Amino acid sequence: MSEALTFNYKIDGDDFTRAGEASSSVKNKLKQLGLDSDIIRKVAIAMYEGEINMVIHADGGSITVTVSDSDITMVLADHGPGIPDIEKAMQEGYSTARPEVRSLGFGAGMGLPNMKKYTDEMHIDTVIGQGTTITMKVHI
């Protein structure tokens, strides 16, 4: 593969039952490309956490995944409320999720720490009241 492949997804913000469809699609595409299963799992977990976060906190957004010879880059962009304190948000167990989100099995304050744990690079750009863009990279 000499030219990078790009996949774009729009994430619906009001349908929790469909959250994860984009991550599932990316996982399938990476499998078809014959990538190593450990790398695919890392990408799938990190993207799924991000996708769930978008639905829980930001009323959806968009995800762009680019696959090159050297890495897989995920850019998750939303127009949500922004993250007031990134340092706090990166702490395991810190969560601002609503109680009903917890009853669905999420909001334990593991999302962002997990995204960092499963990727080789992660960068968060956030502006209060405007939105958040998270860029993650997994090396191949």
Q: Toward another protein, which CB reaches closer, 79 or 97?
A: 97
Number of shown-chain residues binding another protein (CB under 8 A):
27
Least distance to another protein, CB of residue 118, Å: 8
Interactions with another protein, residue window 75-114 (CB under 8 A): 92, 102, 104-111, 113-114
DSSP SS3 for 108: coil
Contact between 68 and another protein (CB under 8 A)?
no
Distance, CA of 54 to CA of 31 (rounded, Å):
24
Which region, left, alpha or beta, applies to residue 80 given φ > 0 means left and ψ of -120 to 50 means alpha? beta
Please answer whether residues 139 and 69 qualify as being in contact, where contact means their C-beta atoms are separated by less than 8 angstroms: no
Least distance to another protein, CB of residue 3, Å: 27
| Helix or strand run (H / E) with residue 76 | strand 71-78
Residues that bind another protein (CB under 8 A): 16-17, 19-20, 23-24, 27, 37, 41, 44-45, 48-49, 52, 92, 102, 104-111, 113-114, 117
